[in-house]
Amino acid sequence: MKIFGTAGVRLRFPDELDPILLYRVGLVLGDLGVSGTSHIVYDSRITSHLVMYGLALGMLSSGIDVYEVGLAPTPIAGFAASRRKSLGISVTASHNPPEYNGFKLYTPDGFESTRDLEEKIELLLDKSFRPVSWQEVGRFSRDSLVVEEYVTELLERFAPSRTTWRPIVIIDCANGATFDVSPRIARMMGARPITMNCNPDGNFPARLPEPRKDVLEQYSGIASVVNASIILAHDGDGDRLAVLDTQSGYIKLDRLLAYYANLALRDKPGHVIASIDTGMALDEVVERHGGRLERYPLGKTHERVKQLGPGNVAVACEPWKLILPSWGHWVDGILQVAIILQNMVETGKPLSKLLEEENIPDYPWDRRSYILDPEEIRDRLYEELVEELKGLLGEPARIIDVDGFRYEYPDGSWLLVRRSGTEPKLRIYSEAKTNERLREIVSHVEAKIFELAKRLGGKIIEKTLG
C-alpha cells in the first residue's frame, strides 16, 4: 500500500488518511524496531491531534514509549530524534492545503526516513499484527524540554559575535508551528521582530501555507509601512523559508541556497547536494569555491548526505529548504532565520546588500504548477509533454531524468517538468540568462500544455506561480 510521497506522507483526511491507517502505521513502526521510543511534534492543522493520537495508539500497542513534544516545528522532530536517540515524528502536511495531513519520520541519527525504510513500512501495512500484551504496552508522557534545548543550541551556534545593527524584521509564521520559536530566535539574536500570522490556526485564514512568490508579494507594502528591512516567511510546519527584502522584493530561492552554500564552502570545501529544480547560481558558487555539485531527486537530498557521510557535505538543499550537516541532518527553516539574521546583525547590512557583495548571481526564473481536469489525464499529459519537449526549444545539451526530466541547453538555460509527489499537479521550472529566452521557454511550454490537455479531452482548471 503506497502512502509516502516526495517528502513523507501527505494525504486528504479522511478519504485517504483515517484513524485505522494511522493505527496500523504505528503498529508497523513497532514491528520494524526503529527505536523503542518516539518523540512527536505536530503542526496547527485541525486534524493534527487526531493524527498524533492515531499513530501513538499503534506505537503504544506495539510496545514503543511515546513522548508528546507538542505544537512545534518539524525541525524539532529531527532534533529530538538526534538528541534523544529516538524515532522522531512530525505530524504535518507541510505547505499543502488544510484538508491534507500526514507525517514525516526521523531515525535516531536525525535523518528523515529513506525511501528504503518507507517501502518497508508500505509493504508491512498489508500484513496482520497483534498488539503486545497488557504488561508490554508503551508508556505515554510529555517532553517539552526538547524545544528549549533546540533554541539554546541554535543560539549557541549562530548568535551574532557582535551587534552592528538591530534590524526590524517581519516574521510570518503562516498560522503554523513556528509561531513561538522563530520570533523568539529573532529577538534573542538582536533583531526587532514584528510577528505576522503567528496565531496557530489550521484553517490558514491569512494565506496559503506555501510561501510562494505570488502568495507573499501582497505583504511587501506592509514592510515599508513599519520600516522593516525584511520579511521572513515560513510554511505551515517550519521546514521552509522564503524571504522578501524591502529593497529587492521576493528573493529568488536559488539565490538564498547559493548564499548558504557560499558561507559553508568558505569555511570548508566539500560536496553540495541540490534538488533537481535548482538553478545556475548554485553551479557558479560551487565552482567558484572548488566544490562539487550533485543534483538529486526532490525531497531525497538527505539520502545522498547519508550515503556520502555528513562530514563530506557542506550543504544539501532544495528550494525553500536547507540541511546544514554541521548543525543537523534534517531540513530546517528556523536555521535559515538564524543564518540570515546572524549576518545582518553582525555586518549591519540588509540581505540584498550581502547577496550583492558576495556576488550571488540573479538570473530570470519561473516556477508554475497546473491542475488538470480530470486529474487522471495528468500522467498521460506528462508523458506526451516529455516527448514533445525533446525538440520544442532546440536540441538539449543534456537531459537529466533523476526526478522528472530536466533539459539543459547550450546557452545555460534549462527546463524541468515533473509530477508533484504530494498533490495532483504538473510542475514546470525554468531559468535563463536573459528575460527574452525565459519568455520563449515559458510561452512555448505553456502553449504545449494547453494543447495537450485539450487533445486528451481535459482542461487546465488552476495555474499557480512561484
What positions carry a catalytic annotation?
A: 94
* Cell 504548477 sits on residue: 369
Three-state SS letters, the chain: CCCECCCCEEEECCCCCCHHHHHHHHHHHHHHCCCCEEEEEECCCCCHHHHHHHHHHHHHHCCCEEEEEEECCCHHHHHHHHHHCCEEEEECCCCCCCCEEEEEEECCCCCECCHHHHHHHHHHCCCCCCCCCCCCCCCEEECCHHHHHHHHHHHHHHCCCCCCCCCEEEEECCCCCCCCHHHHHHHHCCCEEEEECCCCCCCCCCCCCCCCHHHHHHHHHHHHHCCCCEEEEECCCCCCEEEEECCCEECCHHHHHHHHHHHHHHHCCCEEEEECCCCHHHHHHHHHCCCEEEEECCCCHHHHHHHHCHHHEEEEEECCEEECCCCCCCCCHHHHHHHHHHHHHHHCCCHHHHHHHCCCCCCCEEEEEEEEECHHHHHHHHHHHHHHHHHHCECCCEEECCCCEEEECCCCCEEEEEECCCCCEEEEEEECCCHHHHHHHHHHHHHHHHHHHHHCCCEEEEEEEC
